[in-house]
Structure formats: C-alpha cells, structure tokens
Amino acid sequence: MAQLFVDAHTARTFLDEPVTDAQIESLYEMMKWAPTTMNIQPLRLIIARSDAARAQVLEHLGGSNREQAEAAPLITVVCADSNFHDTLSEVVPHIANAREFFLDDERREATARHQTWLQSGYLVMAIRALGLGCGPMLGYDAAGLDAAMLAGSSLVSTMVMTVGVPDPAGYGERRPRLDLDRVMLER
C-alpha cells in the first residue's frame, strides 16, 4: 500500500536503467483491467523508444518537462482512440448494437477522452506496483504533437508520461493535501 499510495511521488528524475519489454507487458496486464463505460477501453499508449520518436515528443514539450523527459528512460504518449467503437464487437460482444451508441463523433471523442483518463489512473498504479515511477505531463503542445505523431489516425493525445526507475534524490518535499472534511462531503 505504501508503494502505491503513501510513499509514491511523481518521478522527476530516474536512475539510468531501461524499462524492459517485460515490464511494459506487465504494465499492460495490470492496467487493462481498468473500468470503463461499457468496457470500451479507448486508451492507447505510444511507446516512444526510437530516437526519432523521442525527438518528436520532446519537440512539443516545454521548459522543465522537456528536461525531465530528455533524461527519462522511457517516454510515452497516452492517447484516446476516438474510433474505439470499431472494437466494441470484441470487447462488448454481449451487446449486439454497442457500436450504434457511439455514432455521434463529438460524443464519442468526449467519451474516449474521459474514459482514457480513468484508464490512466490504473496505468499510474500499475507503474508504481512494478516499482517504477512516472511523471505525467500536461504541459505540452497537444495540437503540434498530434499533428506530428498521430496525423491520419483516430488517436488524440491526453498526456505525455515519463516512466522509469525513480531516483528518490529527485523527489521534492511532500506538498500539502486537503483535509478529509474538505474532500469527503456528507449530505
């Protein structure tokens, strides 16, 4: 519990150790069980391993996010697949007309983004469960990154996330959290 919650920090620096294919497979085996509306599963994860892919991502990051990502063993782009409805016959086989619920493009993309955020929480927990750390980043040029890496696809980025073995020396002080009575509101 401590590794997942209490002692966990956003990783800003990493040890010089690669993230292996086996670790990536383990991450997926854990995070794939995230709940989503109707089991739609819109999250897609771009693993930017090649120098060219890393450069494409880095080009769209600014300031300290770029510096942190440059030094990370693995850079990923968390994406929502706005055409998730094309896989519903596989993941929702018990509802014959499931695809028809998502024919409206605007509603489907909004649903994909919302559910990808839910799956991303599971991704963070899977990363931590493996003893790795991550640095989720929203400070990037999403339109530029999407045009460079995702053009012609049904994917839209929701965040950039660095992954690796965290260097505890890079952890800052714990920032305050709100008290229980300000978060858990009883009615």
Residue-wise pLDDT for 12-62, tens only, equals 999 999 999 999 999 999 999 999 999 999 999 999 999 999 999 999 999
Would you tell me the crossing angle of helices 105-129 and 21-31 to the nearest 10 degrees?
Answer: 120
In a domain, 176, yes or no: no
In a domain, 170, yes or no: no
Task: List residues bridging with 84 in a β-sheet.
Answer: none
Task: Say how many domains are in the chain.
Answer: 1
Choice among 65-69, 75-79, 136-140, 166-170 with the minimum mean pLDDT:
166-170
Beta-carbon contacts of 104 under 8 Å, excluding residues fewer than 6 positions away, are none
Give the domain extent around 140: 2-165
Q: What token pair was written down for 126?
A: 């899977």
CATH of the domain at 137: 3.40.109.10
In a domain, 180, yes or no: no
What's the pLDDT at 14? 97
In a domain, 127, yes or no: yes
Could you tell me how far CA 183 lies from the centroid of its own chain? 25
pLDDT in tens, 150-161: 999 999 999 999
In a domain, 184, yes or no: no
pLDDT in tens, 51-104: 999 999 999 999 999 999 999 999 999 999 999 999 999 999 999 999 999 999
